[in-house]
Amino acid sequence: MAIAMVFTSCEPRSQKAAEYNDSIISHQIEISDAFDALDTTFNEYVPKDMDYAHLMLRSKIETGQRVLDTLGTFKDDPLLLDAAHELFQFYEDISNAEYVEMINIMKIPDSLYTQEDQERASEVETRIISRFTGAQKKFTDAQVEFGEKYNVLFEESEE
């Protein structure tokens, strides 16, 4: 669901910036994997699996947020940390809004599921994709700026 940008560095002074980014990205990847696991349960239509996957997602988000709270800024520069806080807050918001709505729709028994429910599910899915795209772009832009500021090259990897 997300695109993670992992920094690589050839210069020793840039290595710490790359490691700082990677410490954030490792939690971003865990959260992304949890979103993917929840999305998979929608295809399987097993309500208890949806609830469990949603609980695991929320746990990964909370853990990531706690890590950010203890991480601190890089060289007193809040650029990347602020962007990560904003991204992880987005994860919390969307998991508690659109994903809860999607779970509720997906739990409707087949005998009661209507065309309106299908349309609503499609609208929620579109909203999720749109919001993810915007939030990820904002974070990636901050990563690029951080990389330029601290002379760190980066590689994109699909997650």
Convert the pLDDT of each residue in 39-72 to its tens digit: 999 989 888 899 999 999 999 999 999 999 999 9
pLDDT computed for residue 15 by the predictor: 86
Is the Cβ–Cβ distance between 65 and 88 less than 8 Å?
yes
Convert the pLDDT of each residue in 91-133 to its tens digit: 999 999 999 999 999 999 999 999 999 999 999 999 999 999 9
Band (90; pLDDT cuts 50, 70, 90):
very high
C-alpha pair distances (Å), 99 with each of 16, 35, 50, 59, 67: 36, 9, 10, 15, 23
The DSSP string of 73-119 is -BTTB-HHHHHHHHHHHHHHHHHHTHHHHHHHHHTS-TTT--HHHHH
Its domain, for residue 54, covers 3-158
The number of distinct structural domains making up the chain is 1
Q: Is the pLDDT of residue 28 over 90?
A: yes
Q: Is the pLDDT of residue 7 over 50?
A: no
Give which of 154, 104, 125, 134 is closest to 2, Cα–Cα: 134
Convert the pLDDT of each residue in 70-84 to its tens digit: 999 999 999 999 999
d(CA 69, CA 83) in angstroms, rounded, equals 13
